[in-house]
Amino acid sequence: MNVQQRPDVATATQQARARGAFAHVLDGSTRPDKLGTLDAIAAALSFPDYFGRNLDALYDCLTDLSWLPSGEHVLIWVASDVLKKADPGAYLAVHGTLSDAQRALASGGERANSRTLTVVLAD
């Protein structure tokens, strides 16, 4: 079995910027619940005030990103294991929504536009 090690936040940020992407850091170490994680994602990606603080609203904002410049946006989720340990169901729901949004914005995805989303889990 090949287990890929997670990059540290500095490496993940450097790699994103090296390819011309915009890096957005989400520190999960201080937000061990679902609502706190949603708020932290909203802050990291400068979501508009109308963000509804639920998974549907998260998906809608993640697949829009029209308030951010065109290009690749990398959400670097540091210490995602904090939520995973505190509330495994919430972790799976948030992680799944991030993955769905990433796929939807990819080339050929249902919401593909001038912005893409890459999610990196970092230590």
Q: What are the boundaries of each domain within the chain?
A: 9-122
- Average pLDDT over the chain, rounded to whole? 94
User: What pLDDT is stored for residue 19 in this prediction?
Assistant: 96
Residue 77 has pLDDT above 80, yes or no: yes
| 2: pLDDT strictly greater than 50 | no
3-state helix, strand, coil in the chain (%, to 5): 45, 20, 35
Backbone angle region of 71, left / alpha / beta, with phi > 0 → left and psi within -120 to 50 → alpha = left
Class of domain 9-122: alpha beta
